[in-house]
């Protein structure tokens, strides 16, 4: 399956997901990996999608290493780095995906809320990180679940990423990681996998601790009016 935007890995529209009696609106919320390799055709596609806001979840080191290509596109960029510490630190500590996602929701809750508010502030909107798997996967899943998208559809959207990552990319990334961390047990999962049970477990944890993903956002500052607006923006 090819990316919607040429040169942007894992770029897709989250429209069409079941949400009770409705579905997520097409052309409103997009997700992807970084935009450093977007080519001329990709720029033309981004222009045709009329994206107004880009929410970049990468840290300053990643931004400097792989700056996004926008050319003259009239987009507003919102930076919300979600990792407290470098990406490499997670490989150095050999954390699991479950531990990584727990760190995002526990340590960067204010920024998760800022991402969801960014989705509310202007559409169409693109949320992305480096690969579009973990930081993007967690924040988009929370936003979708809080808006009322069916739980298994949220999980399935997250899990799709694994099939969209090119095998040659995965092999190259794993070689690079293992050159520095040869004993790492979780490298392949961290770099290449998006297993449905991991997202299912994260959302279940938010249910237990906050009542729901919407409850998580509410606890960390979102109002009921904002949550209603989220449903109106994302669900048809």
40-41-42 Cα angle (round to 5): 90
DSSP character string of 158-212: HHTHHHHS-HHHHHHHHHHHHHH-TT-SSHHHHHH---HHHHHHHHHHHHHHHSS
**Residue 1's pLDDT is what?**
45
Domain boundaries, the chain: 12-221
Cβ pair 134, 100 in contact under 8 A? yes
Look-up of token digits 């559809």: 153
pLDDT digits 0-9 by tens, 58-114: 999 889 999 999 999 999 999 999 976 556 666 667 789 999 999 999 999 999 999
CATH for 12-221 (3.30.930.10, 3.90.190.10, 3.40.50.2000, 3.90.650.10): 3.90.190.10
Strand partners, 5: none
pLDDT digits 0-9 by tens, 21-71: 999 999 999 999 999 999 999 999 999 999 999 999 999 988 999 999 999
Residues 6+ apart with CB under 8 A from 85: none
Q: How far apart are CA 213 and CA 19, in angstroms?
A: 15
pLDDT band with cut points at 50, 70 and 90 for residue 208 = very high
Closest CA to 109 of 74, 84, 145: 84
Prediction pTM value: 0.94
Classify 94 as helix, strand or coil: coil
């Amino acid at each position: 399956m090819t990316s919607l935007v040429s040169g942007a890995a894992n770029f897709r529209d989250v429209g069409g997901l079941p949400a009770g009696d409705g579905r997520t609106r097409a052309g409103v919320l997009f997700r992807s990996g970084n935009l450093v390799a977007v080519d001329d055709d990709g720029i033309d596609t981004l222009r045709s999608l009329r994206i107004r806001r880009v929410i970049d979840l990468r840290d300053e080191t990643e931004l400097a290493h792989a700056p996004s290509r926008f050319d003259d596109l009239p987009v507003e960029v919102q930076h919300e780095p979600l990792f407290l510490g470098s990406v490499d630190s997670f490989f150095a500590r050999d954390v699991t995906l479950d531990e990584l996602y727990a760190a995002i929701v526990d340590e960067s809750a204010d920024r998760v809320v800022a991402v969801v508010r960014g989705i509310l502030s202007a559409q169409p909107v693109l949320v992305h990180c480096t690969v579009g798997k973990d930081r993007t996967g967690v924040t988009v899943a929370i936003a979708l679940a809080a808006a009322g998208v069916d739980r298994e559809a949220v999980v399935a959207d997250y899990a799709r990423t694994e099939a969209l990552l090119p095998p040659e990319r995965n092999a190259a990334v794993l070689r690079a990681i293992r050159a520095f961390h040869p004993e790492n047990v979780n490298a392949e999962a961290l770099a290449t996998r998006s297993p449905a049970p991991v997202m299912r477990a994260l959302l279940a944890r938010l249910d237990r601790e906050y009542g729901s993903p919407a409850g998580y956002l509410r606890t960390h500052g979102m109002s009921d009016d904002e949550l209603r607006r989220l449903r109106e923006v994302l669900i048809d």
